[in-house]
Structure 1
Amino acid sequence: MAPGASPADQPSFLVSLLAGGVAGVSVDLILFPLDTIKTRLQSPQGFNKAGGFRGIYAGVPSAAIGSFPNAAAFFITYEYAKFLLRTDSSSYWVPVNHMLAASAGEVVACLIRVPSEVVKQRAQVSAASGTFHIFSNILYQEGVLGLYRGYKSTVLREIPFSLVQFPLWESLKALWSRKQGHVVDSWQSAACGAFAGGFAAAVTTPLDVAKTRIMLAKAGSNTASGNVLSALLEVWKTQGISGLLNSNPEM
């Protein structure tokens, strides 16, 4: 327990679990069509061949099943890590503590997120195949490790994302609170989060492209080995900077 902290200050396990889980499910389901479009833009076969705008809810069962435990695991870890690392609010260590807490949250959450993401992304670019069929094929062809293909690339993408997003989110909330003289309302916190998340997503897009390519790669291929640098170089050679920035819809 941090110096001077009392048990009452410690974040409630149940509150973190429910709030994080509900937030994660809501965001994932509401924005799922956009996620499908993003995955198809990043897929090696190109947007139209991957399905275009058809079947944009393909893979939603995987997202729905994995979303709650994934988000809950992240926020529980994030809140408890912040609690353990907390310092005086005026300390210059505060942003660093937020970064460390977010990184810890991502490492834990990815243990749940990656299997769900692998199944979801393959369903998104193969809308004719059901989620359970894809899940069964992965287990049959690659075993349990196949569900964790892309774990390293996901962590390498999520940690920088969180290092940008969460300190920026916390800073924006603190700034807004000081300006208005009281703690930000829910909608204000959401607005800060939307800006922080959008900025973090833009910065980490090349890593997200690499993650998608690794998860969708044919088993046994060089890309499927999980080498992020190799995946980035392959995209660079075939599509240039537009491919790394997810702006080239066709191969």
Structure 2
Amino acid sequence: MDRPGFTASLVAGGVAGVSVDLILFPLDTIKTRLQSPQGFKKAGGFRGIYAGIPSAAVGSFPNAAAFFITYEYVKWFLRADSSSYLMPVKHMLAASAGEVVACLIRVPSEVVKQRAQVSASSRTFQIFSNILYQEGVRGLYRGYTSTVLREIPFSLVQFPLWESLKALWSWRQDHVVDSWQSAVCGAFAGGFAAVVTTPLDVAKTRIMLAKAGSSTADGNVLSALHEVWRTQGLSGLFAGVFPRMAAISLGGFIFLGAYDQTRSLLLKLGKESP
């Protein structure tokens, strides 16, 4: 990928990530508390819904930037004719690679953030220090596998659907979609992907919030899903589905729209500069 494209993906991804995480943080807190083992009210209810936001703010830009740099680079590396029937596969591979790389940054931020969300009385830095003291660096990566196993199926649904909807809309109107149209496609793709991957999100939340040394803390996704199914049934597996769908639909609108708009602007500025 050329230098302007690399820089544009870096900045656009970072801007989009920060925009979404800060605007939609309250919905994410509500979703996390609905999924927590102690229940919504004991986890804080509607109080302190911005608990953990410093962790999200610190991790947002590098996390989103890492995803989109990888996503665009892999798409470029696997470059193929735009009419090829393999285009969805290319988008799936690019999105999966992006998630694996981004999760190296996302997971520590997510672990600290989610623990702060269900313990609003504790400060973010205090939670971060406690994790390092009690579990070491490994504790910050608890749930890495479950996060990747959530994000890859999510991206396998969201990004090919987003790209396909944009291509269809472009074909229908005979010109490339505008940023707001890209955002609408992103909202639909994100909301649909959010619903179908909610059980994996529940498992990830339970693993990250589990007490150190417990069987759930070991990170076995199937075991976590079975425990939720055994104790709460189908409703437990889809706990928080509505705030998650709402947050990701709105997030998809802001995130993918802001990404396309920022990247197009930066690429245009790059071409105009001497």
Q: TM-score, normalised by structure 1?
A: 0.94
- State the alpha-carbon separation in 1 of the partners of residues 240 and 204 from structure 2: 16
Return the letter of the residue paired with 2:42: K
SS, match of residue 12 in structure 1 = helix
Deviation at residue 174 of structure 1 after TM alignment: 0.3
Mapped contact 1:103–1:159 kept (Cα < 8 A): yes
* Correspondence for 2:34 among 37, 41, 46: 41
Return the letter of the residue paired with 2:63: N
* Correspondence for 2:227 among 215, 231, 234: 234
SS, match of residue 57 in structure 1 = coil
Return the letter of the residue paired with 2:50: Y
Question: Number of residue pairs matched?
Answer: 241
* Correspondence for 2:186 among 189, 193, 199: 193
- State the alpha-carbon separation in 2 of the partners of residues 247 and 106 from structure 1: 22
* Correspondence for 1:118 among 72, 90, 111: 111
Partner in structure 2 of residue 130 of structure 1: 123
Deviation at residue 11 of structure 1 after TM alignment: 6.1
Higher relative contact order (CA 8 A, sep 6+): 2
Q: How does 1:56-205 map to 2 (within 5 A)?
A: 56-205=49-198
RMSD: 1.2
Return the letter of the residue paired with 1:78: Y
Return the letter of the residue paired with 2:220: N
SS, match of residue 75 in structure 1 = helix
- State the alpha-carbon separation in 1 of the partners of residues 233 and 49 from structure 2: 27
- State the alpha-carbon separation in 1 of the partners of residues 71 and 127 from structure 2: 32
Deviation at residue 47 of structure 1 after TM alignment: 0.3
- State the alpha-carbon separation in 2 of the partners of residues 211 and 48 from structure 1: 20
* Correspondence for 2:7 among 7, 11, 14: 14
Partner in structure 2 of residue 55 of structure 1: 48
Mapped contact 1:86–1:94 kept (Cα < 8 A): no
Unaligned runs of 5+ in 2: 242-274
- State the alpha-carbon separation in 2 of the partners of residues 196 and 86 from structure 1: 23
Deviation at residue 247 of structure 1 after TM alignment: 5.2
Return the letter of the residue paired with 2:167: A
Mapped contact 1:59–1:121 kept (Cα < 8 A): yes
- State the alpha-carbon separation in 1 of the partners of residues 25 and 144 from structure 2: 21
SS, match of residue 121 in structure 2 = coil
- State the alpha-carbon separation in 1 of the partners of residues 147 and 195 from structure 2: 16
Return the letter of the residue paired with 1:194: A
* Correspondence for 1:223 among 216, 221, 237: 216
* Correspondence for 2:22 among 3, 25, 29: 29
Q: TM-score, normalised by structure 2?
A: 0.86
Return the letter of the residue paired with 1:160: P
Mapped contact 2:32–2:240 kept (Cα < 8 A): no
Deviation at residue 14 of structure 1 after TM alignment: 1.1
- State the alpha-carbon separation in 2 of the partners of residues 158 and 90 from structure 1: 27
What per-residue deviation string (whole Å, max 9, x for no partner) do you get for residues 183-221 of structure 1?
Answer: 100110011001101100101000000000000000000
CA change 1:233–1:25 in 2 (3 A) is same
Return the letter of the residue paired with 1:55: G
Deviation at residue 90 of structure 1 after TM alignment: 1.3
- State the alpha-carbon separation in 2 of the partners of residues 113 and 247 from structure 1: 20
